[in-house]
């Protein structure tokens, strides 16, 4: 998990004036041309702070072997960006002019993955180094695939990039990337940083800027809008004016993205240590509706629901910062809780008992949410248990309470109860009661339950008889 980078300035000095410069063709795709990026900035070793000691040995080995075989090889993307910002990256990606097949041939510990974007994963124990081939322009739409089997592209009628395996040069690869701050390259052989798209300038300005014409790039891949807000949240950067301005007109294109891919993006958005900031970015740019449609509407209507979701995001970020485990099930449970509560209330109004209403509402909510996000069963089941547990926690009688504490889902449900109270919901003394109850031995627990029963004077109400009338 990456850290939020919030320092107001670079930890190391950067030289953004040109060391070597030449004109670069900036055509990105069919359609409007992007703004010009006429100069290549080459930052020499003594003008930047990147050190090989902060780079994975595995990544250095991959680049070295590629260069030894006559190929270009550069550290690229987030790793270079974070190193320049003074952070220690956890993932290292490499760009090369070698095809996926050539890379695979050099590393027995590798495999080619992907169809839309063919890349190579080189594995060193538990560490994976991702190697991509320089991407090129694909103005001709569909291109014939050569013998390598990967060098072709395909776009939809609306401009959606369905396949992007046209290979090109380093300069073309730079302008084919999404954000300027993610298009910086480091040569571990010559110790130089290459900037083709003014990425260093945007780092200094602390802004997220898409490469090229924003609307065109969003149409190519609508997920770039989610990436834009995600990196703005992660880095605590502003979004450049034109980059942000194009989002409202293109946002609906996210409905064309497969639900499985959107779930992968959900994990990156909310489980990388900056969920709270990401939520605010999604709300500001009205993008949450394309992940959680009903939740988005309810958060605009109900301050308590918004407070709960915000509290869940902050709690998740804190757990990640403290190196504690987190699960997508918990944050999904928080994001969908407003929908569950509303649906359960509707079913209770129709006459369903509370537990039946909650069970049915849980099933319905997950089913509808899965049409937007492909939620795996390993997460949907814990979500239901957390929700239904909120009713079970109201039962504080005798051994029933003791059994609840021993349940595998108690801790998550208890934490969720505290979030509800933190958001301003009045649950009586439930949170305080269960907090104290956990600290007691069995005899003390039974005594506390008896005390509660005595105060409440609760008795099982007789079940109303139904008149079975024939119609």
CA dist 56 and 89 (Å) reads 9
Judge whether 95 lies within some domain.
yes
Same domain? 152 vs 298? no
Alpha helices (H) along 168-240: 170-176, 199-205, 214-220, 223-235
Enter the pTM of the model.
0.83
Is the Cα dihedral 257, 261, 263, 268 positive or negative? negative
Same domain? 253 vs 313? no
Q: What is the number of domains present in the chain?
A: 2
- Residue after which a domain boundary falls, among 257, 280, 302: 257
Same domain? 251 vs 318? no
Q: Contact, 151 vs 145, CB < 8 A?
A: yes
- Our CA dihedral for 51, 57, 63, 69, rounded to 10 degrees, sits at 130
Judge whether 397 lies within some domain.
yes
CATH of the domain at 126: 3.30.460.10
Same domain? 246 vs 317? no
CA dist 74 and 340 (Å) reads 48
Q: Contact, 193 vs 184, CB < 8 A?
A: yes
CA separation (Å) from 334 to 317, 339, 344? 14, 10, 15
Judge whether 377 lies within some domain.
yes
Judge whether 60 lies within some domain.
yes
- Residue after which a domain boundary falls, among 234, 257, 280: 257
Same domain? 315 vs 226? no
pLDDT of the residue at 27: 35
Same domain? 245 vs 299? no
Positions marked catalytic: 91, 93, 178
Same domain? 57 vs 195? yes
Q: Contact, 154 vs 125, CB < 8 A?
A: no
Judge whether 461 lies within some domain.
no
Same domain? 431 vs 358? yes
What is residue 167's three-state secondary structure? strand
CATH of the domain at 387: 1.10.3090.10
pLDDT of the residue at 114: 83
Same domain? 46 vs 194? yes
157-205: pLDDT as tens digits: 554 544 456 788 999 999 989 999 999 999 999 999 999 999 999 999 9
Same domain? 236 vs 100? yes
Please choose, from the candidates 202, 134, 131, 200, the residue with its C-alpha nearest in 3D space to the C-alpha of residue 172. 134
Judge whether 280 lies within some domain.
no
CA dist 141 and 204 (Å) reads 36
> Which domain covers residue 146, as residue numbers?
41-257
Please choose, from the candidates 427, 426, 423, 431, the residue with its C-alpha nearest in 3D space to the C-alpha of residue 306. 423
Same domain? 378 vs 450? yes
pLDDT of the residue at 168: 87
Q: Extract the residue ranges of the chain whose pLDDT is less than 50.
A: 1-11, 15-34, 140-151, 153-155, 159, 161-163, 457-471
Same domain? 333 vs 444? yes
CA dist 125 and 105 (Å) reads 19
23-38: pLDDT as tens digits: 333 333 333 344 555 5
Judge whether 166 lies within some domain.
yes
Judge whether 210 lies within some domain.
yes
- Residue after which a domain boundary falls, among 213, 242, 257: 257
List the Cα angle 103/180/222 in 5-degree steps.
85
Task: Tell me the helix, strand and coil percentages in the chain, rounded to 5.
Answer: 50, 10, 40
């Amino acid at each position: 998990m990456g850290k939020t980078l919030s320092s107001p300035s670079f930890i190391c000095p950067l030289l953004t004036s040109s060391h070597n410069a030449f004109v670069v063709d900036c055509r990105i795709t069919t359609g409007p041309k992007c703004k010009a990026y006429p100069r290549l900035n080459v930052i020499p070793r003594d003008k930047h702070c990147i050190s090989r000691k902060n780079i994975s040995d595995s990544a250095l080995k991959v680049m070295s072997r590629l260069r030894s075989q006559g190929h270009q090889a550069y550290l690229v993307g987030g790793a270079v960006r974070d190193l320049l910002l003074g952070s220690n990256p956890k993932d290292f990606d490499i760009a090369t002019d070698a095809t996926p097949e050539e890379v695979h041939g050099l590393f027995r510990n590798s495999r080619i993955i992907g169809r839309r974007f063919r890349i190579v994963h080189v594995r060193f124990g538990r560490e994976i180094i991702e190697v991509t081939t320089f991407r090129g322009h694909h103005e001709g739409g569909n291109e014939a695939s050569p013998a390598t089997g990967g060098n072709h592209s395909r776009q939809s009628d609306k401009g959606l990039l369905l396949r992007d395996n046209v290979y090109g040069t380093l300069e073309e690869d730079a302008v084919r990337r999404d954000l300027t701050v993610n298009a910086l390259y480091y040569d571990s052989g010559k110790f130089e940083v290459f900037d083709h798209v003014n990425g260093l300038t945007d780092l200094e300005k602390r802004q997220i800027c898409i490469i090229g014409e924003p609307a065109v790039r969003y149409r190519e891949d609508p997920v770039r809008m989610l990436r834009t807000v995600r990196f703005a949240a992660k880095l605590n950067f502003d979004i450049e004016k034109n980059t942000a301005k194009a989002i409202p007109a293109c946002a609906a294109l996210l409905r064309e993205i497969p639900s499985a891919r959107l779930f992968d993006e959900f994990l990156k958005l909310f489980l990388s240590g900056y969920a709270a900031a990401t939520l605010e970015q999604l709300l500001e740019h009205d993008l949450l509706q394309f992940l959680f449609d009903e939740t988005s509407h309810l958060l605009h209507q109900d301050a308590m629901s918004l407070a709960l979701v915000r509290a869940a995001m902050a709690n998740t970020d804190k757990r990640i910062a403290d190196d504690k485990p987190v699960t997508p099930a918990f944050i999904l449970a928080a994001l969908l809780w407003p929908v569950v509560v509303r649906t359960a209330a509707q079913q209770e109004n129709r006459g369903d008992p509370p537990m039946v209403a909650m069970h049915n509402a849980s099933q319905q909510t997950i089913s509808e949410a899965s049409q937007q996000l492909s939620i795996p069963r390993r997460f949907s089941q814990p979500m239901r248990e957390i929700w239904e547990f909120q009713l079970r926690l109201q039962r504080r009688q005798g051994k029933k309470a003791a059994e609840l504490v021993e349940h595998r889902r108690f801790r998550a449900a208890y934490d969720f109860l505290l979030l509800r109270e933190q958001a301003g919901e009045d649950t009586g003394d439930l949170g305080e009661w269960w907090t104290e109850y956990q600290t007691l031995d069995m005899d003390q627990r039974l005594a506390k339950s008896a005390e509660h029963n005595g105060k409440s004077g609760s008795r099982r109400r007789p079940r109303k008889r139904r008149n079975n009338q024939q119609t």
